[in-house]
Every structure is written in C-alpha cells, then in structure tokens.
Chains A and B, each alone.
Chain A
Amino acid sequence: MTINTAFMIQTFLDVLAGIPVTLELTFITLLVSFPIAFFMALQKLEKKKFSGKIVSGYVSFIRGTPVVLQILFLYSLLPTILNYFIKEVLNLDVDIFALNPIIYAFVVFSLNTIAVLTEVFRSALLTVEHGQLEAALAIGLNKRQAYARIIIPQAVVFALPNLCNATINLMKSTSLAFMMTVKDITAIAKVNAAYGYNYIEAYLVISVLYIILCTVVQFGYGAVERYFSLYKRISTN
C-alpha cells in the first residue's frame, strides 16, 4: 500500500475551494429552516388541529426516508417543474438548466432540515415546565409575551445540544450534494481521486477537513451555550 503524499497536498489545496460551498449549504439551509421549523413545531404541539397532523405526517416521512433518496427524487423532479413553470406559466425565456444547481441543493436540504428542526424545537418546548407558562399568564402576560419572554429563551437552551447535532448531521449530508453536481468538498475530492485512482488519499484528506469543520461548529455552539445558559450554569456550580 503506497500513499501518494504529493497528491494529498495537492488535493488538500484543491478542496479548500469547496469549503465555502459546504458552509453555505449548511448555514443558509439552517437560516431558511429555522423560522419555518419553529412555526411547524408550534403547530405540532397542538395535536388535535388538522395542521398539527399534517406537520406530523411531513416530519415522519422526511425523517423516515433516506436523504439520498430525497436528493435523487427532487433532483429529477425540480428542474422539469421549474422549467414548466418558467416557460409555460411565466412565459420567460430562461434556460433553467444553466441555473446553478446549488439552488436544488438548498431546496432539498431545507426540506429535510425543517423536519429535523421541527422535532428539536418541539421537544425543547415540551421540556419547559408547564408551570412557567401558567406563572406568566397569572402575572398578566398574554400568550405571545409568555412565549417570547419566558418559554422560548428557556427552550433555546434545551435545544442547543440537539441543534448542534442537527448542524453536524446537515453538514455531513451536504457531502451528497455532488449528486446534484454541486462542487462542494466531497465533489472536488471525488474528481481528483478518479483521475489517478487515488481514492484513499482523497477521502482521507477530506475526512480531516470534515473533522476540522465539525470541531469549529461544536466550538461555536459551545460559546453560544455558555452565553445563553447563565441561569443554568450557575445551578450546576
């Protein structure tokens, strides 16, 4: 077994160009999914409501099927739908097949992440004791104020560890973006590797890169957690 170190260094330099793509995919997806998932979590908490049932079904479906399948399905569906919509409905002359495929990646990963975050938010909201809401109402806050000032700030703290997990899982999922011809870290490594059959070297290099990115994300969440959980940290001292 021989390891081609020169190739590894070259690949490392090449895949650096993919880091912004991987980060973009991760964080823009999170940003888009966040408010939608929060709204959906509130719906899901009201089980009797019809909207709550729809949300439950959606979450169950997305979380019960592989991401790779969601990617393959939407990547063969979205372009044709978009094409039809632009050509036939809007009557525009746009070549949608020249669009940056990252758009499809955003759609797929957001649809997936919304379901994941809905569960994260729902369980975090459930963790806040019911008495907190009662006390807020009893001193005259309305439901919106109670949620904004008492329930959500506490739920955020409970949600952070799961949010961190969700972010890492999302970042790992973006490694499948190459299936939509998006040039992220994994896609670049794959191209480099195929050229001279240096698969092991290429994938070892990006493993290290993913570990570094993952570490940065965890540090970030650690800092946020320390900031938010002042009242909790004190109790553990």
Chain B
Amino acid sequence: MLEIRNVYKAFGNNQVLNGVDLKVNKGDIIVILGPSGSGKTTFLRTINFLEKADKGTIDFDDIHTELQSASHKTINKIRKKTAFVFQNYNLFANKTALENVTEGLIVARKVPKEEAIKRAKDALDKVGLSERYDYYPSQLSGGQQQRVGIARAIAVNPDVLLFDEPTSALDPELIGEVLSVMKKLAKEGATMIVVTHEMSFAQEVASRVVFMDGGVVVEEGTAKQIFTAPKEKRTEQFLRRIVRDYDYVI
C-alpha cells in the first residue's frame, strides 16, 4: 500500500537520514524505535511532507513521486491519505475540541457541516471525550489534548496514521489513557506507523518493529524477534538500556 525508499535528509552539515526504506501493508502496526537523534521523527515527518527530504521516493497506492520534487497537488493528495499525531499535540488553540476535529473535514475535504460534526463526535466518543466537545485545548489535560489530537487524525479516515512520540510530553499517569486509545485503534485494524519509547505498546501490538540508528534502519522484524533475539549489537545495547530505564519508571 505504502512504500518509501532511499530517503536522505540533512540539516546543514548534519546528515540525519542516510537512505531509509520502509514498506507498509494495510493493517500493519509499525513501531519505530531508536535512540534520540537516530532520525526516526524526521523520517516520519518526511512521509507527511512536514519535512522535505533531499532525496527519496514514495509509492502510495497509485501515487508515485520523488520526495524532493513532489508537486503541491501530490503533497496534498498524500496528506489527505495520512494523518499525523504530534508529540506536543498541536491542537488549534483558537478552536474547541469539536472544531479541531471538524476543521480538516469541512475545510480541507469539503465534507458538509452536519456530517462533519457527526463524524467528529463519533471520533471524540471513540477516544472517550464525549463530555468535552466544547472545551478549548487550554481547558483540557495533556492526556485529553492528545486524545483530541488522535480524534482529529482518525476522523478523516486516513489510510495511514502517523504517531510522533505521542506520549513523550505527557506526565506518567496520563500515558495510559492515550496508549489504550491507540491499542484500541490497532485492534480495529487501523494502519499505523508509531515512533515511541513505550516498549509495552511495541511488545503488545506491533506487527513489525523497526530499529533505527544513525539515520539508517539497523534491523527490523516482529516484536518477538527484536525483543528476544536481536541480530544486531546496536539493537541489543539500545534495548538493554531502554528496558532498564523502563523498569525504573515502574
């Protein structure tokens, strides 16, 4: 369904991505792991053209384009097939929870207002916020804000959901509510690419785990393969460190 190949990206002299490939099938839950600075977030952002790659190609259903020279029209088409959940939520501060969700439907996709509101309410209900339609972002907790962010993403029925460290800005006690929403979506068959440090999420729901370091994919496999029998030394070192940190949190 989605195939990204050979992605390169540099910020000034800093080469962040060194030829990353990723293939996504419908219903895949792909978790991207890696130390900070490994390029995982940048890679995710190039898929949605929030970051313009220096080189690379993308095949999305029948769309084929070079990442560095995609036309406005193509970019828009791909953005409408994807949805992005941000690390710091990025809810529109001047819109209520409901308006945050309807915005992409009414303005970008020309869905009639009545229908948009209905779909938005369904999405908010799904993430457990049926009581918070008319709240502004500043009135919601971090966990609630991120759930609105997820509702905003699923309301447009995207082919792929992109999650950029959706829980890393949250207080520990609020992480659970967001993760359980994501797990629910995964069980319902959504296609997701998730950059995260939440090992429990990766172990429980990932159909494939991708380990990135130094701007390349070091290793990929099923969650079981990666966690119990990593082939690469770098993967093993990373996991040992992060799992220990993870134990500390508990």
A: residues with CB less than 8 A from B are 129, 131-132, 134-142, 145, 149-150, 153-154, 157, 230-232, 234-235
Q: Are A235 and B92 in contact (CB under 8 A)?
A: no
Q: Does B91 contact A (CB under 8 A)?
A: yes
Q: Are B152 and A139 in contact (CB under 8 A)?
A: yes
Q: Are A132 and B83 in contact (CB under 8 A)?
A: no
Q: Are A231 and B94 in contact (CB under 8 A)?
A: yes
Q: Does B156 contact A (CB under 8 A)?
A: yes
B: residues with CB less than 8 A from A are 48-50, 72, 76, 79-80, 82-84, 86, 88, 90-95, 103-104, 107-109, 136-139, 152-153, 156
Q: Are A138 and B83 in contact (CB under 8 A)?
A: yes
Q: Are A154 and B90 in contact (CB under 8 A)?
A: no
Q: Are A134 and B156 in contact (CB under 8 A)?
A: no
Chain A residue contacts of B139, Cβ below 8 A = 234-235
Number of A-B pairs, beta carbon distance below 8 Å:
79
Q: Are B108 and A154 in contact (CB under 8 A)?
A: no
**A234 in contact with B138 given A139-B104, A149-B107 (CB within 8 Å):** yes
A139 to B50 CA separation, bound complex (whole angstroms): 11
Q: Are A154 and B103 in contact (CB under 8 A)?
A: no
Contact of A131 among B86, B95, B104, B152 (CB under 8 A): B86
A231 to B107 CA separation, bound complex (whole angstroms): 21
Chain B residue contacts of A154, Cβ below 8 A = 93-94
Q: How far is the CB of A149 from chain B (nearest CB, A)?
A: 6
Contact of B50 among A137, A150, A157, A230 (CB under 8 A): A137
Q: Are A134 and B86 in contact (CB under 8 A)?
A: yes
Contact of A140 among B90, B93, B94, B104 (CB under 8 A): B104
**A135 in contact with B92 given A140-B79, A140-B80, A141-B104 (CB within 8 Å):** yes
Q: How far is the CB of A46 from chain B (nearest CB, A)?
A: 16
A224 to B77 CA separation, bound complex (whole angstroms): 39
Q: Are B90 and A141 in contact (CB under 8 A)?
A: no
Chain B residue contacts of A142, Cβ below 8 A = 72, 76, 108
Q: Which 10 A-B pairs have the closest CB atoms?
A: A235-B138, A139-B104, A140-B108, A135-B90, A131-B90, A138-B84, A231-B136, A153-B94, A140-B80, A141-B108
Chain A's closest residue to B104 (CB) is A139
Contact of B83 among A139, A157, A231, A235 (CB under 8 A): A139
- What are 16 A-B pairs with beta-carbon distances under 8 A? A131-B86, A135-B92, A137-B49, A137-B50, A138-B50, A138-B83, A139-B104, A139-B153, A140-B79, A140-B109, A145-B107, A150-B94, A154-B93, A154-B94, A232-B138, A235-B139
